[in-house]
Structure 1
């Protein structure tokens, strides 16, 4: 089942161009990519979609982590295949492919949301290329990629079937309970063993809590001219990376980074998530880069899930 024969066959076509091409393509599935993509959706497309998207992506990642911890399959052996970009997978299980599942989840959700056949074709091709890159680089068996794709489709299908029903029940909860759930639910991802969990958990908590803060105190609007959207994105991303770097250096100076395996990353990315979902939008409003939210007659002010 976990056979290297397909990797060996694929790598017979190896050359410098393909090495560089697939190394670049595989980074589309890196966690850092989502640190930019989710804020862009939140700032420029739909904050409610970004919030729902975050819950879905967290659920998909949780399933991947559970399966990885349960199966604990070793990655392809470097004595049998050529392994490139191997440092990115150090200490993590092979089955199923997290990069493939993450890419399929991310672009699959967007394809479902936009329902445009050209965009769907793009999503399918990109997901296929990321999956192929994991095999070409010697980081995964073919079955890992197939399983990651299958799990992403399964989770997306179930999520779309049940999310609205669950959300409607949670809509009546108090604001404090919603903030509490936004904090506790991502923490469940810390239970099973896994890779890069602190980053994802912290960012998810920050984004989800910030969304609730925005709905209660700010009500930031995504609507703006194309020029203002571009300015928002540049300011937001610069602030995001400055915060990410500054906090990393600060934690290393005070020795916080060495306290727990995932603790420092979780705290650092919690602030990054809060910046993305609340403090950057607050700055956009103050700078006049966001239109004032429109309240329709008869519209209530309850915080929507």
Structure 2
């Protein structure tokens, strides 16, 4: 990274950090003035709009974004994006189970004719925390593109909108999203500094050692997470089985793909990217219906289910692309 790029990198982080800090200060003032529930809006139209915005923080949407990055943009960044999603999500779940703070009273039941409901503990907000981490990382990735100052601002606004949507639809308090944003930014900065160091050391290992380490870490995440946090943050399903399985498929799939398949979306022309995107998303949706429809039940099946999903995105579909693009 040259000097000008380094300045842009620091500037991107500074913009994201300042906007998050500004929201934190404003939110703290509102808390002191006892406006914690003031942003909750019962209007059905407003609720609908912000339910759509809040969907951009759901796992299905983020999996689709991860797949799009993998298929037509940059498979290496896609892996970083999903790792950031997993790391921030796991940290959030652990914090929720340790703190055990309930959601606000505005988190009403789905049986009610108005409103939106979520299960699990409320502090800190997962959508706010994960959003700050992954969209902050995405803003950082695009820092060297056209208008480098504008991109961090746009993503910062998006992060704030997703966070505020959680208060407006009533599933979080203002305090919960403020701390979610702050923790998400801390995780983002730690990831940006640590990831290059860890990747450099990891890349020195042989492929068999990389695969063994990937499998070991995935299984340990599943087993240790399940033993230490058996309530799963109140979500009702084993999130550590989901995370461990996802990590297994992601790591094994990307390692094998880089070694044997070598799909490079950056080498495609616009027409090929459009074709690959349509085919890739169609295949992914078919696989999703199959995987989530047939592989259900025990925690170990949840682990296998998510391992297959990320393996399909990182290895199987890129392999299909190489055959299509070659022909």
TM-score range, shorter chain: 0.7 to 0.9
Secondary structure of the residue aligned to 1:164 is helix
- Note the alpha carbon deviations across 1:22-66, whole angstroms, 9 max, x for none: 111110100111111111111211111222233232222221122
CA–CA separation in structure 1 for the residues paired with 2:37 and 2:167: 9
Number of positions where the alignment pairs a residue of Structure 1 with one of Structure 2: 279
Unaligned 5+ runs, structure 1: 252-256, 291-305
Task: Compute the TM-score of the two structures, normalised by the length of structure 1.
Answer: 0.83
CA RMSD, Structure 1 to Structure 2 (Å): 2.6
Does the CA contact (< 8 Å) of 2:106 and 2:171 recur in 1? no
Report deviation, 1:7: 4.9
**Map of 2:259 onto structure 1:** 216
Give the drift of 1:263: 3.0
Which residue pairs with 1:274 in the alignment?
311
Q: Which residue of 2 aligns with 1:248?
A: 292
Q: Distance in 2 between matches of 1:75 and 1:4?
A: 20
Q: Is 1:169 the counterpart of 2:201 in the alignment?
A: yes
What is the CA distance between 1:201 and its match in structure 2?
3.5
State the distance in 2 between where 1:224 and 1:206 align: 25
Match of 2:38 in 1: 9
| Corresponding residue SS for 1:6 | coil
Cα distance in 2, alignment partners of residues 65 and 55 from structure 1 = 15
CA distance 1:158–1:78, change in 2 (3 Å): closer
Residues 186, 140 of structure 1: CA spacing in aligned structure 2 closer, same or farther, 3 A cutoff? farther
- Over 3 Å counting, the alpha-carbon distance change for 1:250 and 1:80 in structure 2 is closer
TM-superposed deviation, 1:183: 2.9
* Aligned pair partner of 2:246 in 186, 199, 203: 203
- After TM superposition, give the deviation of residue 104 of structure 1 in Å: 1.3
Q: Which consecutive unaligned segments of at least 5 residues does structure 2 have?
A: 1-27
In 1: Cα distance, 2:101 partner to 2:202 partner: 38
Question: CA contact under 8 A between 2:107 and 2:171: conserved in structure 1?
Answer: no
Provide the TM-score with structure 2 as the length reference.
0.78
Deviation at 1:78, TM superposition (A): 4.4
Deviation per residue, 1:261-300 (Å, 9 max, x gap)? x33332222111111111101000001169xxxxxxxxxx
Distance 1:64 1:144 in 2: 11
Post-superposition Cα deviations, 1:85-138, rounded to whole Å, max 9, x if no partner, equal 21xx22x11000001111111110011111122221221111111111111111
Counterpart Cα distance in 1 of 2:81 and 2:95: 21
2:161 to 129, 135, 138: 129
| 1:3 CA drift (Å) | 9.8
Q: Which of 225, 249, 273 is equivalent to 1:229?
A: 273
- Determine if contact 1:7/1:135 at 8 Å carries over to the other structure: no
Q: Which residue of 1 aligns with 2:67?
A: 39
Query: 1-side partners of 2:48 and 2:220: how far apart?
Result: 37
Q: After alignment, is 76-85 or 61-70 more displaced?
A: 76-85
| Contact 1:64–1:98 (8 Å) recurs in 2 | yes
| Equivalent-residue separation in structure 2 for 1:159 and 1:240 (angstroms) | 28
Q: Determine the structure 1 residue equivalent to 2:177.
A: 145
